[in-house]
Amino acid sequence: MDRRQTILGLLAAGPLMTSGTGATMLNTTADKVQRLADRYADAWNASDMDAMAKLYAGDVHWVNIVGMHWQGKAQVDQAHRAYFDIMFKGVPLTLEAIESVVALPGGALVAVLRWAVGAFRTPFGQQMPPSRDRMSLVLIPQADEIVIAHGSNVQIDEQAQNSDPIRQKQR
């Protein structure tokens, strides 16, 4: 093989090598997101708010399912503890899917997770049936893991899913 063919071969292989490295990075990132999701579910299901608080960055923001906005680890932790005492203790949470993970500049990630949540009673006494939630998280590196810098949780309206214009096109 002459020098020209060698250079052309290396240039052609370059994107493959890069994508291979990228695939390894994505697997590592996917593994970190999976570990965080597993730790979140384990903490929730054990009603272990100390374990859950370890998943938050110090300056975390959280928008809960009914639009409350908590700022900073102390507020997010206090609010989660209050609602676990009132209505979520013993309510099962199961990860259905990590729907997407997108890398941002600087090592941050945006992940969308889908959860199955068991039935619970609201602070006003209304019995809520089991549901599915979609959680968007901004995750940042901390040591060898990732922590939650921002979380937002939305209950999935199953009836409205039938009107999703993107899913209708895919059928």
Query: What is the structure's pLDDT at 102?
Result: 96
* Structural domain for 35, as ranges: 3-170
The pTM of the full predicted model, rounded to 2 decimals, is: 0.80
Q: What is the pLDDT of residue 119?
A: 97
* Count of alpha carbons within 13 angstroms of residue 30, beta-carbon side: 10
Lowest mean pLDDT across 6-15, 35-44, 119-128: 6-15
Look at residue 158 in the predicted model and tell me its pLDDT: 85
Residue type, 62: W
Q: What is the mean pLDDT of the chain?
A: 85
* d(C-alpha 83, C-alpha 121), whole Å: 11
For residue 163, give the CATH number of its domain: 3.10.450.50
Q: Strand ranges (DSSP E) for the chain?
A: 56-63, 69-71, 93-103, 109-117, 120-121, 127-128, 131-142, 145-155
Regarding predicted confidence, which is higher, 136 or 15?
136
Alpha carbons 132 and 55: distance in angstroms, whole number? 22
At residue 170, the pLDDT reads 64
pLDDT band at 83 (very low <50, low <70, confident <90, very high): very high
pLDDT of residue 27: 55
**pLDDT exceeds 80 at position 56:** yes
Average pLDDT over residues 108-115: 98
Q: Is the pLDDT of residue 22 over 80?
A: no
pLDDT of res. 164: 83
Residue 55 pLDDT greater than 90, yes or no: yes
Q: What is the mean pLDDT of residues 117-144?
A: 95
Count how many domains the chain has.
Answer: 1
Q: What percent of the chain has pLDDT over 70?
A: 82
Question: Each residue of 75-112: b (16+ CB within 10 Å) or e?
Answer: ebbeebeebbeebbeebebeeeeeeebeeeeeeebebe
